[in-house]
Amino acid sequence: MFVSENLSVNEKGHLAVSGVDTVDLAAQYGTPLYVMDEEVIRSACRRFKKSIDSFYGGAGLVCYASKAFCCREMCRIMKDEGIGLDVVSGGELYTAASVDFPMENICFHGNNKTDEELTLALEKKVGRIIVDNIFELERLNALAEKAGVTANIMYRIKPGIDAHTHNFIRTGQIDSKFGFALETGEAFEAVKKAIELKNINLAGLHCHIGSQIFDIDPFVHAAEVMLGFIAKIKNELGFEVKQLNLGGGFGIKYTNSDNPAPFENYMEKVSVKVKEVCEKENISLPFIIIEPGRSIAAPAGLTLYTVGGIKNIPNIRTYVSIDGGMCDNPRYALYKSEYDIEVANKAGEPKTESITLAGKCCESGDLIGENMPVQHIEVGDTVAVLATGAYNYSMSSNYNRIPKPAVVMVKDGSSRVVVKRETMEDIIRNDL
């Protein structure tokens, strides 16, 4: 019935997260409130890790794409689960470092890392810096030389895969700001250059073909293209690329019409192709890295809001206004992303209404969704937006000077704050 398996209706008819009453959470911590279920996060980590063990004999690493949801507690959980991290900024790297995250298990991404960020990565001895372009390569080589170290890098490659997903989240095709193009020979020239540079060690290649992908084929095809390139490098340059990072992008269930394959299926099909190409091309099986983000964080989360007003515009629509909006969840405004909602205090009742869930920001596009089926909804109700664990808190802003909500983690029937609610004092903290 619900998009995430940890959700249920309790004896009061309230929505519960792993047995914890969401109406109680709203009363205890206030709304808006992000709620994360620790067990859902941990079990996704274990499943990904297990799939590396079963399909690659353990010769690989799962790196959680922390941009999906990054805070110190999330980094601690990943460290505890033996999962690596994918970071895309100095800020994410700093967050990881603040909990003594093992730096050798970090992949540092980004299409325009600053000298300060690259220097921080070298200082912290980040395991792999994913180089996006030739300018970055040259800057990194110079910075590494100055620091007297060798930078361990992977190249971000555009394998030319058109994954069937929202246009804004397609990144594997040639018209993308990310990475080196294969088709044009740009990537091959860059590999030659990296091999020549003294303070660069080309540890491997990386690709990430997009997000919220439901088809298995694009992943299999991307792996095939990348291994073909590794074979070409071996044959023509005599250089062995030892690691292959296949990125993330596994789709999750946001609404009941989404039907993603279990990620074990992707992992298995991809591993079969990887082994097949390695055998055919006579190259050794590379160390495999995967970078799931959304699929670890999204199903674990939900957001609670309080309804403040309802406007019924006859024959047009009903606007239900909540105490958050695009400032804590900009995904509908950005991508027209769909979500399931529940009236948390009436979760046991049938959905008889269809509403537009509107935020409180001064922006007509500030909606969480339109045509959303929901229970009979009234002012004062608690609304739960489901599967908001990824790209909500991490994309939140202070638009309209609205403080960011707290994040509460639920585990074993109890709850704790892992990110404090911002205060008005936080809002003016940096103002002079």
Ligand X SMILES: *Cc1c(COP(=O)(O)O)cnc(C)c1O
Binding positions for ligand X, rule: CB under 6 A = 65, 67-68, 86, 109, 208, 211, 247-250, 291-295
In whole angstroms, the minimum distance from the beta carbon of 110 to ligand X comes to 9
Q: Of the two residues 68 and 347, which places its CB atom closer to ligand X in the complex?
A: 68
User: Rounded to 5 degrees, what are φ and ψ at 341?
Assistant: -125, 160
Q: Does 327 qualify as catalytic in the annotation? A: no
Neighbouring residues of 101: CB distance < 8 A, sequence distance ≥ 6? 75, 78, 79, 85
How many CB atoms lie under 10 A from the CB of residue 134? 14
CB of 154 to ligand X, least distance (A): 10
Cβ at position 349, least distance to ligand X in Å: 33
Question: Whose Cβ is closer to ligand X: residue 295's or residue 321's?
Answer: 295
| CA–centroid distance for 204 within its chain | 22
Which CB sits closer to ligand X, 14 or 67?
67
CB of 380 to ligand X, least distance (A): 35
> Closer to ligand X at the Cβ: 32 or 389?
389
- Measured in whole angstroms, the distance separating CA 173 from the mean position of its chain's CA atoms is 20
Q: How far apart are CA 432 and CA 428, in angstroms?
A: 8
Residue nearest to ligand X (CB): 293
**Is the CB of 253 or the CB of 294 nearer to ligand X?**
294
> In this structure, are residues 71 and 419 in contact, taking their beta carbons and an 8 Å threshold?
yes
207 in Cβ contact with 247 (< 8 Å): yes
Q: If we measure between CA atoms, which residue out of 262, 410, 300 comes closest to residue 43?
A: 300
In whole angstroms, how close is the CB of 82 to ligand X at the nearest point? 18
Cα separation, 58 vs 427, in Å, equals 46
User: Do 149 and 201 meet the contact criterion of CB atoms below 8 Å apart?
Assistant: no
| Beta carbons of 92 and 70 less than 8 angstroms apart | yes
> In whole angstroms, how close is the CB of 211 to ligand X at the nearest point?
3
- Nearer to ligand X by C-beta: 49 or 234? 49
Instruction: Give the three-state DSSP class for 42.
Output: helix
Separation of first and last alpha carbons in the chain: 51
Catalytic residue among 45, 107, 327, 362: 362
In the chain, % helix, strand, coil (3-state, to 5) comes to 35, 25, 40
Question: Which of 229, 203, 97 has the alpha carbon at shortest distance from 150?
Answer: 203
As annotated, the active-site residues are 362
